Amino acid sequence: MRPVLTAMALAVLPLAVPAQAPADEITWDVVYTPDALPGESGWGASQGENTSAEIADGALHIIDAGTARTQLHCYSRHWGARPERGAIVRATVKLVDCTDRSGMCLLVADGVHEAGLTFYPDRIVLSNLDLEHAMDTTDGFHTYEIRIAGINIEVWVDGAPVIDGWGKFIHEAYEGRRIISFGSISSAATAEAYWRDVRYVAHTIPAEPIAGAQNVVIYRQEGIYACFPSLMRLDDGRLVTGFATRARRSHIDNTGGGARAISRDGGYTWELTEERFTDPRTIRDDGTRIVPHAGGWTYVPEEQLPEVRARGRRWMKAREGTIAYLTDPRVRIEPPDGEARIIELQSPLPGGSMGHQSASSFLHAGDLWLNAIYCSPGQEGLSSVWVIRSGDNGESWALHEVAHPIGDRIGFSETALCDNGRGEIIAVMRSGSGGEYNTYQSFSSDGGLTWSPPEDTGIWGYPCNVILLDDGRLLCTYGYRRDAMGIRAVLSEDGGHTWKLSEEIVLRADGWGNGGDNGYPLSMQMDDGHIFTIYYLNDRENVTHIAGTHWSVPPAE
């Protein structure tokens, strides 16, 4: 046996704890003990018919007696594991029975690799690795530990190494997931076990938030996945945000609807409201409301999938029996005294169009109206960015391309628009494919008709929001979806052509779990000059919520 997570290995791949530290010396990120069901303490639950879980004799008793599709019973949680830093998972388990692979399992995935430890009555097996250890797992509780670092994996039992996976932790993580799961993970198998505890630690790199930052919670409710906040300032100075309140941790399933909150003191305190508001930026001088936007997701019964495919639309399964597909961009015109009308625009690509937060992608200045959208070539392929544009105060509309994919690796999507105060409009775009995730940008000097080729900003983070500060600098805020997860910002003194990357500003560094549960910031400069930034964030209790930070930018040089 060649242990991989020894002190020598840790010098190359530093873990959060010494490899052989006893339990009472480890500061665990999360510890589950059966005081309640895991689903009541921050773990996501997947449970089907003919399965059950209850607290019995000081342990979580899981039974999976079904073999049909969806008949499993497990609990999952996003965590901060990264291949370059490693992680440790420890569970105390007594098996009763397990008939097949993953029937009773402890699974780890670090966003790149994954492996599941299956408990059989006479052995434990690391799935996909052909590694196993013979033992009686039914004679009492045993403590199992999985240690991962890079492409290396070890399994320890009751304080001793039993499986050496040096160089074998290479099975690809499903859809890049970064989770820990335990319980019955297989529909086909039947299994039964008692779990006394599950705990883990994943090393993260700390980051110090900017001095003087004041964080506020706008909306937080356990069991609700609150995400995608908007932000507007009314003519009377009140701030308003709307956001999704989803029943599932999903960016596509909109079950649960949304909510609105209002602040009367500049964003320091918030309360929910049923009142509806209109963004003042969308109102033309004659009182007409104009809203250019992407078609976005349309939800239909799954029976319509053949028709959706025939049209070449990009689609996803939203929930059982329902799919969502992308539709065409459009402009909604609402006169102050008359019926609203819709101007339909054909998507330049057959897959349909999708938008970003209106507060980030929308720009209205005089007779110029712009909204950035991104369009898909179909179910597969990289997206490109376009603007819905009117240069005659909303009388006519057309689509103009901002950026198309670079080769077969880099596509562009969610985009922030801003007048940089120097006669140009800057479009800061999210990119992402084939391992490329830096933010790109393009410039237009003719009001959005033509755009410069996209260039890499060097900013790692997405999606972005860009605003022009009173002192002429540009401020770019963005979600930071790796350690230390949170919200960050950079400044530009030349209209966005270069960014002060070496002076990156940290607003939040205490996000937790899956990087996708974090970000979409929107910033606003307040009357006294300080910045208010709103976003959503997942915390250590696994509650994704709407929050904000009041902070001040460093003075210009």
How would residue 18 be classed by pLDDT, with cut points 50, 70 and 90? very low
Q: Do residue 114 and residue 24 come from a single domain? A: yes
Mean pLDDT in residue range 531-547? 94
Q: Do residue 292 and residue 163 come from a single domain? A: no
Give residue 550's identity as a one-letter amino acid code: H
Q: Residue 15 above 50 pLDDT?
A: no
Give tens-digit pLDDT for 477-503.
999 987 788 999 999 999 999 999 999
**CA dist., res. 428 & res. 464, Å (int):** 7
Mean pLDDT in residue range 510-516? 80
Q: Residue 13 above 50 pLDDT?
A: no
Q: Do residue 187 and residue 287 come from a single domain? A: no
- So what's the pLDDT on residue 493? 97
Ramachandran angles phi, psi of 145, nearest 5°: -135, 130
Give residue 53's identity as a one-letter amino acid code: A
- So what's the pLDDT on residue 297? 96
Cβ pair 144, 155 in contact under 8 A = yes
Give tens-digit pLDDT for 259-279.
999 999 999 999 999 999 999
Q: Do residue 284 and residue 193 come from a single domain? A: no
**Domain containing 352 — which CATH number?**
2.120.10.10
**CA dist., res. 70 & res. 328, Å (int):** 35
Q: What angle do CA 354, 536, 466 make, to 5 degrees?
A: 60
What six digits make up the tokens of 538? 């997942």
Please report, for residues 228, 467, 538, the alpha-carbon distance to residue 213 in angstroms, rounded to integers and kept in the order given. Answer: 22, 19, 19
Has residue 290 been placed in a domain? yes
Give tens-digit pLDDT for 435-446.
456 899 999 999
Has residue 520 been placed in a domain? no
Q: What is the mean pLDDT of the chain?
A: 91
Mean pLDDT in residue range 529-538? 97
Lowest average pLDDT, out of 213-227, 291-305, 395-409, 511-525, goes to 511-525
User: How far, in whole angstroms, is CA 96 from its chain's centroid?
Assistant: 37
Has residue 546 been placed in a domain? no
- So what's the pLDDT on residue 7? 31
Q: Residue 111 above 90 pLDDT?
A: no
Q: How many residues does the chain have?
A: 557
Contacts of residue 27, Cβ cutoff 8 Å, sequence gap at least 6: 16, 17, 201
Give tens-digit pLDDT for 338-381.
899 999 999 999 999 999 998 899 999 999 999 999 999 999 99
**CA dist., res. 425 & res. 429, Å (int):** 13
Has residue 342 been placed in a domain? yes
**Domain containing 139 — which CATH number?**
2.60.120.200
Lowest average pLDDT, out of 18-27, 169-178, 502-511, goes to 18-27
- So what's the pLDDT on residue 25? 65
Domain boundary among 427, 462, 497: 462
Has residue 549 been placed in a domain? no
Mean pLDDT in residue range 22-37? 80
Lowest average pLDDT, out of 24-33, 50-59, 408-417, 492-501, goes to 24-33
Give the number of C-alpha atoms closer than 13 A to the C-alpha of residue 215, restricted to the C-beta side.
19
Mean pLDDT in residue range 379-390? 96
Has residue 164 been placed in a domain? yes
Has residue 219 been placed in a domain? no
Q: Do residue 345 and residue 432 come from a single domain? A: yes
- So what's the pLDDT on residue 436? 53
Give residue 490's identity as a one-letter amino acid code: V
Q: Residue 2 above 60 pLDDT?
A: no
pTM: 0.80
Q: Do residue 22 and residue 143 come from a single domain? A: yes
Q: Residue 8 above 60 pLDDT?
A: no
Give tens-digit pLDDT for 67-81.
998 899 999 988 878
Mean pLDDT in residue range 502-529? 92
Strand partners, 519: 536
Q: Do residue 180 and residue 291 come from a single domain? A: no
Ramachandran angles phi, psi of 301, nearest 5°: -60, 150
User: How far, in whole angstroms, is CA 63 from its chain's centroid?
Assistant: 32
How would residue 10 be classed by pLDDT, with cut points 50, 70 and 90? very low
- So what's the pLDDT on residue 16? 36
Domain boundary among 157, 172, 202: 202
**Residues of the domain holding 363:** 279-356+358-462
**CA dist., res. 155 & res. 167, Å (int):** 14
The count of structural domains within the chain is: 2
**CA dist., res. 553 & res. 531, Å (int):** 7
Q: Do residue 179 and residue 294 come from a single domain? A: no
Give the number of C-alpha atoms closer than 13 A to the C-alpha of residue 126, restricted to the C-beta side.
29
Domain boundary among 169, 202, 235: 202
How would residue 433 be classed by pLDDT, with cut points 50, 70 and 90? low
Has residue 251 been placed in a domain? no
- So what's the pLDDT on residue 267? 98
Our CA dihedral for 431, 436, 439, 445, rounded to 10 degrees, sits at: -70
Give residue 525's identity as a one-letter amino acid code: Q
Give tens-digit pLDDT for 409-422.
899 999 999 999 99
